Chains A and B, each alone.
Chain A
Amino acid sequence: MDPITFSIIRHRLYRIVDEAVITLKNVSGSAITNEGHDLMVSLYRADGSLLMGGVGFLHHLTSAAEACQSIIRRFGDRIEEGDIYLLNDPYTAALHTSDVYLVSPIHHHGQLVAWSACFVHVYDIGAKNPGGFCPDADSIYIEGFSSPGIRLVRGGEIIGDVFDTLMNMVRSPEMVALDISSMIACNNVARDRMQALIDKYGAATVDEACQTLIANSESQLRARLLELPDGQWQSRQYLNVGSDVSKVVLTMTKRADELNFDFSGSSAQSTHAVNCTKWASLGGLFAPLFPLLCYDITWNEGVIRPIQMTAPEGSIVNCTRPAPVSVATVGAIQSVNNAACSTIGKLLATSEKYRREATAVWHANHFAIFKFGRNQHNREGIGILTETFAGAGGARTFADGVDVGGEVPNPISRMANVETVENMFPIRYRYRRLRCDSGGAGYYRGGAGMDLAITPHDAPDGGIHYVVSGKGAAFPMSDGLAGGYPGAPNAYLWHKHGVDDSTDASVVETEPVDWGVFPLMGSDTLEVRWNGGGGVGDPLQRSSEAVLADVGAGVVSNEVAVAVYGVVIDGGAIDSVATTARREQLRSARVGGATPRKPIKGLPVPLECGHHDGSVSVSCAGCGEILAGHGEAWKAKLLPIESPMNEIMSAYSTIDGVSLHQYVCPVCGALLDSETVYADDPPLLDYVGAIPDA
């Protein structure tokens, strides 16, 4: 295709998506859409395949494609110009009921030429608990209304009886109606602009440009995959609800120009609403894949083609009806996000060219807390704690993670100001500050999370209630990379009878509150500590000045500086003699107490893959020792160290049975890998070069 016309049409397609997003945010006016950017708008081809994904919650791009396709299957030739369909059934295509899709066919001269689709997290969906997340659910039947596809707009007019029926099933129907209006307006803008584009350039030319766009993305991704070594990488995510522990296990295989994500070994579906359906898992692995592997490639069907997924039926990542799924987006889907981020990071780190793109896991654990109740202005309201969108960056291979730096699957997000929240809800923040020791230790430190505490203030009912879907607090989830430590896990604490600032003197009792609906009354405090990002590399190799700065900035404690980084600080300065001694002591303890056989060279990612005549060997660049030959499980050649997680540092307050397994170079004592292990789970095995038989 003529590159000039292609360039013009592509630019316009981008702007169409942008303009539709602006319309969505304008009309909606809700905090979750405008502040949290919990939304998505994309364009699809006539067959429902992804043409152009916008910036939003990225795990929706593929499932909205499935939504278009299931509408095509269900309605077939009854699809007419001016229709808009609503779909929010997770067993059909959606992620959970409250993320409602509106999909709209785009016609030109009577011919179906494309689709637009969008979603927002609607104000309420009529589930048992307000706000959509439903920790009380034991099946999808109490998670609000769900439709596998219903015509909401015909010939440009809302079908009143359908609309009224839907609004009859939700709390605050006027707010939900506004959400729906915003999505209709958004689809209308996308449609009008697409039609104008086709008017100008002709349907055949635009279609050719679309095909070229998809073909380009496919060939760009395949070419990138060919530049990366073949191999297999594993990751594992635990998520608990109370004492029920589930896991998501991922084996990612890269062979030639294809990537396969296999979730075999993951837990059976849960009785809690943390499950997700297979469309959700597929979206969940693409959410980090788009920005990590395809940061310079248009996100469309072409990127999807080289990727396969296997998700066992009946598992937590491919549950069967009527398993509850309302917490999926922050439950199993987020675990899939994290697991995929981790294996993609490992893959990128093996390549000298792409190492800078590798990252430890960012903000691995959303905390969905919906406050509800009557406020100081006598209004009933539901509102999410938007701090969950603030996140924390994973460490990179060239820099620390960004403190409170967001997350990968939703590149645009932010939290509300304290003053905004205090004006809308009858609560007062006692503090909202960086959380010490939350970012995973490493050569590069994971970004810190935060710690907030709220208490009722001027509440006409003496306080408020909140729904918390705080799964996974027992496990660090933001995995490190190349030996980096995981970020500290979330904690949700109900301090009864008030705490004043950080002193716990007046606390009568503190109770963890992870799951369910709880009151916040009187002078009680809800404290939420959120996770930091994972670290990259060996903390003993981190510059001691950087550790000193972190201690000064309050993001690393003195105890952790000594215990994990081996840096001794005295009177605000580094004690270099004591630090050298401490670091040598820690390093020799790793290799059994002896002096390591070779000196160590400090590198953020000391694991190196050497290529010789088509074979790949893995060596420790810290000392130059070759660890494993072509296709060998290199971790088996390393020295394992097992430590109970909660003995490493106080921020790792986990349940018994959780440990950190670290793998060090037997020659120089460099820390090369670490993983979180529960009970007696087997080690994660990675292979570079040859791929083991299944």
Chain B
Amino acid sequence: MSYIVATDVGGTCTDTVIAASDGAVHIGKVLSTPPDFATGVIDSIRSAATAMGLSSTALLADTNLFVHGSTVVDNTLLTSSGSHTGLITTRGFEDTLRVTRGAYGRWSGLPEDQIKHPVATDRPSPLVDIGCIRGVPERIDYKGAIVEPLDTAAASTAIRYLLDEQQVSAIAVCLLWSFRNPQHERAIRDLINEIAPACYVTLSSDIAPLPGEYERTSTTVINAYAGTVVQSYMENLHSLLATEGYDGPILVMQGHGGLLPVAEASSRAVGMIECGPVAGLIGSRHLGQVLSESNIIAVDMGGTTSKVGVIQNGALDYAREPMVNRYHYLAPKIEVASIGAGGGSIIGLETGSLAPIVGPQSAGSRPGPVCYGNGGTQPTLTDVMLLVGYMHPEHFLGGSIALDRSACLDVFDQVIATPLGMSVEEAAFGIYRVACSQMSDLIHEITVERGLDPRDYVLHAFGGTCPMLAAVFARELNVARIVVPHTASVNCAFGLVASDVVHEYTETQLLGLPAPADKLNAHFEPMVNAAREALGAEGFSNDQIRIECAVAMRYGLQVHELVTPVAGGFPLSDAHVEQQIVAFEQLYEQRYGRGSAYREAGVELTQFRVTGRGLMQRPGLVSLPLGSSDPTPAKIGTRQILVESRNAFVESPIYDFAKLRPGNEVAGPAVIHTPVTTIVLQEAQTGRIDAYMNTVIEFE
């Protein structure tokens, strides 16, 4: 037997999925151990090994691949624990980072109610102290031509100033147009290496060879700031694994949805940002492939926010203006939208109108909802789930945590029901409807942004709270059906084993279309070769390597760029170029709406992209035979639950997921308790247990 071990470090839990060569999947789950996250990784592997009846050393001895995702970079930024960092820019543009393209950095990442209150808003403080920014005389133009050569003496002075006077241990270098001509940035790196070989250096032309100096500078700075933390984290993890007897390859999850070998990942801190939720989306996509579903809206409801990802025709969309802790960055990053509603969202009443408000404030995990009995005094969405009968004290997380229903009742009555002049039930029903309606509104907005029609989509419901709301909000969104995946509790780790090794290459070059195919191929060729070389060196054989080419295109004089895959692959023929324009136009209208295409202005190509993919072995999901549709053996009782369409409590059956079998069909209204979540079926809905133990909810 051999294994692939995948461990995902999240803010709260560290999850492990182990894919055995016989197709079996095992899981482990422990609490994360900040700031020393690597310890939790080993704990989590041990927990999975224990469940398999193995020691971790025995498990790791038979492991031939370790796949890893970690929140270490997000956490470094959240806790401001990165390196003391300096920044070198083109002279005359030293303030680019600080001024964040004007108000952009002041309002970005804020919810609308704060945007409407500008007097109370500020930028986040920059990761580089103002005194640690130095401009050097040099200038490259939009074509990459040198207008003013680099003044190396001045550059040396700037470097020495940062090192000696400011005592920085990392330096970010971002010069204008360096993505077009990296010569000056490289010269500066050589100078730094000469003066201080131990100093950590990030060049913008390496980390983000893309146009837009503000975002590129910000990216370079984030990478330099978190770089040494990631390096030592990886080294530490490596040695801990070695102590446990593992010395095989380590692959690290990236925000672009692929894996990188640990050596390369260590120098690309920025690539790891938000890789956990992205891995979750990869997990959803993999499940979708198994179920032959290519259009998925994946909603993962956590304590404070819900993460929403969209899979369109099997493809993931890149974020347009990614941000972390309100810092902008430029890196290929799969879009995962965040909306301010989670299980811990606090319910309040607006002064005056008494209109209930759900979130965005959250009770988080401490003190958490009132019913957790950890001192929470503000009612949360989770408390409402208890009051409407969906959650039950005996069945929460497999009965491992007792819920305090009476405290919950008292607080809710006092803070919500009494002021509203309603009974607790009435008020709880009302808040449930408000929460569902808000989820539906917010997800609708995300779909509008992408120009898609929710009716063509399946909704994957993750998290402890989501499957209690989805039956209502997904119905209102008009999605085709809901799937509550069996792997939900370790979905991110599951996504890790469903990922490929991915190397991304981009070249920014403006080119009017149509153009001869040779001209395009000349840009693609060096990147394609680099991708093949890198993957070959990593041990992928030719038949395990996929090369995907794409171009970013736009209409002349327009700002919206769309990455359009090159359908025919590399090399292109002239006919392919023609097809490319057609494909772009279709994609454009699909994304931006009817009438948005502006053909008169012509089509321009702005960027060449190559993705080199080293195909990994996917864990096979074991398909179980479908049995009887009758779920009665799993029925564990009945109780009063809210049936939304009647706005009333109805005595309804309750099922234990552990006793349900593939093929069972549960008719709503009903509740299914699983060890990790609670699934609610509303009236006129059926929950079918499929061959993979997913719960598939269909609407009548």
B537 within 8 A of A: no
Assembled-state Cα–Cα distance A19/B442 (Å): 10
Taking CB atoms, residues of chain A closer than 8 Å to B91 are 431, 501
Q: In the complex, are the beta carbons of B213 and A417 less than 8 A apart?
A: yes
Taking CB atoms, residues of chain B closer than 8 Å to A174 are 598, 600-601
User: A15-B444, A29-B559, A423-B142 are contacts. A4–B356 as well, Cβ < 8 Å?
Assistant: yes
Q: In the complex, are the beta carbons of A26 and B119 less than 8 A apart?
A: no
User: A406-B106, A420-B211 are contacts. A26–B596 as well, Cβ < 8 Å?
Assistant: yes
B648 within 8 A of A: no
Assembled-state Cα–Cα distance A299/B115 (Å): 13
Q: Mark A406-436, 1 if CB is under 8 A from B, else 0.
A: 1110011111111110110000111111100
Assembled-state Cα–Cα distance A415/B93 (Å): 14
**CB proximity to A under 8 Å, residues B269-287:** none
User: A29-B560, A295-B117 are contacts. A219–B352 as well, Cβ < 8 Å?
Assistant: yes
**CB proximity to A under 8 Å, residues B73-131:** 91-96, 98-104, 106-107, 112-113, 115-123, 130-131
Taking CB atoms, residues of chain B closer than 8 Å to A22 are 445, 448-449
Assembled-state Cα–Cα distance A534/B511 (Å): 45
Taking CB atoms, residues of chain A closer than 8 Å to B555 are 29
Picked from B94, B102, B451, B557, the residue with its CB within 8 Å of the CB of A433 is B94
Number of interface residues of A (CB under 8 A): 90
**CB proximity to A under 8 Å, residues B431-476:** 431, 433-434, 437-438, 441-442, 444-445, 448-449, 451
User: A391-B102, A399-B122 are contacts. A15–B442 as well, Cβ < 8 Å?
Assistant: yes
Taking CB atoms, residues of chain A closer than 8 Å to B560 are 26, 29, 34
Taking CB atoms, residues of chain A closer than 8 Å to B591 are 26
Q: In the complex, are the beta carbons of A19 and B102 less than 8 A apart?
A: no
B420 within 8 A of A: yes
Taking CB atoms, residues of chain A closer than 8 Å to B102 are 387, 389-391, 404-406, 413-415
Q: In the complex, are the beta carbons of A27 and B557 less than 8 A apart?
A: no
B430 within 8 A of A: yes
Q: In the complex, are the beta carbons of B559 and A35 less than 8 A apart?
A: yes
Taking CB atoms, residues of chain B closer than 8 Å to A290 are 116
User: A27-B592, A189-B448, A296-B113 are contacts. A422–B142 as well, Cβ < 8 Å?
Assistant: yes
Taking CB atoms, residues of chain A closer than 8 Å to B66 are none
Q: In the complex, are the beta carbons of B592 and A7 less than 8 A apart?
A: no
Q: In the complex, are the beta carbons of A423 and B510 less than 8 A apart?
A: yes
Q: In the complex, are the beta carbons of A450 and B445 less than 8 A apart?
A: no
Taking CB atoms, residues of chain B closer than 8 Å to A27 are 592-593, 595-596
Q: In the complex, are the beta carbons of A406 and B434 less than 8 A apart?
A: no
B200 within 8 A of A: no
Q: Which one of A175-183, A239-247, A278-286, A654-662 is at the B interface?
A: A175-183
Picked from A411, A434, A457, the residue with its CB within 8 Å of the CB of B116 is A411
Picked from A189, A391, A419, the residue with its CB within 8 Å of the CB of B212 is A419
Taking CB atoms, residues of chain B closer than 8 Å to A291 are 116-119
A664 within 8 A of B: no
**CB proximity to A under 8 Å, residues B525-560:** 555-560
Taking CB atoms, residues of chain A closer than 8 Å to B106 are 393, 402, 405-406
In the assembled complex, the CB of B177 is this many whole angstroms from the nearest CB of chain A, namely 6
Q: In the complex, are the beta carbons of A26 and B557 less than 8 A apart?
A: no
Q: In the complex, are the beta carbons of B355 and A6 less than 8 A apart?
A: yes
B400 within 8 A of A: no
In the assembled complex, the CB of A305 is this many whole angstroms from the nearest CB of chain B, namely 16
Picked from B104, B117, B433, B559, the residue with its CB within 8 Å of the CB of A31 is B559
A216 within 8 A of B: yes
A14 within 8 A of B: yes
A524 within 8 A of B: no
B176 within 8 A of A: yes
A396 within 8 A of B: yes
Picked from B131, B147, B353, B437, the residue with its CB within 8 Å of the CB of A428 is B147
Picked from A3, A212, A419, A458, the residue with its CB within 8 Å of the CB of B356 is A3
B630 within 8 A of A: no
Picked from A379, A390, A403, A419, the residue with its CB within 8 Å of the CB of B142 is A419
Most A Cβ at <10 Å: residue of B117, B433, B434, B595: B595
CB closest chain-A residue, reference B122 = A402
Picked from A35, A295, A501, the residue with its CB within 8 Å of the CB of B120 is A295
Q: Mark A260-278, 1 if CB is under 8 A from B, else 0.
A: 0000000000000000000
Taking CB atoms, residues of chain A closer than 8 Å to B518 are none
Q: In the complex, are the beta carbons of B595 and A419 less than 8 A apart?
A: no
A207 within 8 A of B: no
Assembled-state Cα–Cα distance A11/B436 (Å): 11
A23 within 8 A of B: yes
CB closest chain-A residue, reference B349 = A3
Q: In the complex, are the beta carbons of B177 and A419 less than 8 A apart?
A: yes
Assembled-state Cα–Cα distance A420/B104 (Å): 16
Assembled-state Cα–Cα distance A377/B510 (Å): 10
In the assembled complex, the CB of B118 is this many whole angstroms from the nearest CB of chain A, namely 5
Taking CB atoms, residues of chain B closer than 8 Å to A356 are 119-120
Q: In the complex, are the beta carbons of A12 and B93 less than 8 A apart?
A: no
Q: Mark A495-528, 1 if CB is under 8 A from B, else 0.
A: 0000001000000000000000000000000000
Q: In the complex, are the beta carbons of A418 and B559 less than 8 A apart?
A: no
Q: In the complex, are the beta carbons of A12 and B441 less than 8 A apart?
A: yes
CB closest chain-B residue, reference A220 = B352
Q: In the complex, are the beta carbons of A381 and B94 less than 8 A apart?
A: no
In the assembled complex, the CB of A646 is this many whole angstroms from the nearest CB of chain B, namely 26
A292 within 8 A of B: yes
Taking CB atoms, residues of chain A closer than 8 Å to B596 are 26-27, 29, 178, 181-182, 185
Taking CB atoms, residues of chain A closer than 8 Å to B211 are 417, 419-420, 423
Taking CB atoms, residues of chain B closer than 8 Å to A416 are 101
Taking CB atoms, residues of chain B closer than 8 Å to A403 are 98-99
A184 within 8 A of B: yes
**CB proximity to B under 8 Å, residues A1-33:** 2-4, 6-8, 10-12, 14-15, 18-19, 22-23, 26-27, 29-31
Taking CB atoms, residues of chain A closer than 8 Å to B22 are none
Q: In the complex, are the beta carbons of B353 and A3 less than 8 A apart?
A: yes
CB closest chain-A residue, reference B143 = A458
CB closest chain-A residue, reference B351 = A220
Q: Mark A161-180, 1 if CB is under 8 A from B, else 0.
A: 00000000000001100100
CB closest chain-A residue, reference B451 = A26
Most A Cβ at <10 Å: residue of B98, B118, B120, B147: B118
Assembled-state Cα–Cα distance A382/B222 (Å): 35
Q: In the complex, are the beta carbons of B115 and A55 less than 8 A apart?
A: yes
Q: In the complex, are the beta carbons of A414 and B112 less than 8 A apart?
A: no
In the assembled complex, the CB of B116 is this many whole angstroms from the nearest CB of chain A, namely 6
Taking CB atoms, residues of chain A closer than 8 Å to B213 are 417-419
Mind listing 22 A-B residue pairs with CB under 8 Å? A3-B430, A12-B437, A22-B448, A23-B593, A29-B555, A29-B560, A55-B115, A175-B601, A184-B595, A189-B448, A291-B118, A295-B119, A357-B119, A359-B119, A393-B106, A418-B213, A422-B141, A429-B93, A432-B96, A433-B93, A434-B99, A450-B99
4 extra A-B contacts, CB within 8 A, seeds A15-B444, A31-B559: A27-B596, A406-B102, A419-B213, A458-B143
List of 10 A-B pairs having minimum Cβ-Cβ separation, nearest first: A406-B103, A390-B102, A431-B92, A4-B430, A414-B104, A295-B117, A29-B558, A7-B355, A174-B600, A26-B592
B positions within 8 Å CB-CB of A: 91-96, 98-104, 106-107, 112-113, 115-123, 130-131, 139, 141-143, 147, 176-177, 211-215, 349-350, 352-357, 420, 430-431, 433-434, 437-438, 441-442, 444-445, 448-449, 451, 510, 512, 555-560, 591-596, 598, 600-601
A positions within 8 Å CB-CB of B: 2-4, 6-8, 10-12, 14-15, 18-19, 22-23, 26-27, 29-31, 34-35, 55, 174-175, 178, 181-182, 184-185, 189, 212, 216, 219-220, 290-292, 295-296, 299, 356-359, 362, 376-377, 379, 381, 387, 389-391, 393, 396, 399, 402-408, 411-420, 422-423, 428-434, 450, 457-458, 501, 549, 552-553
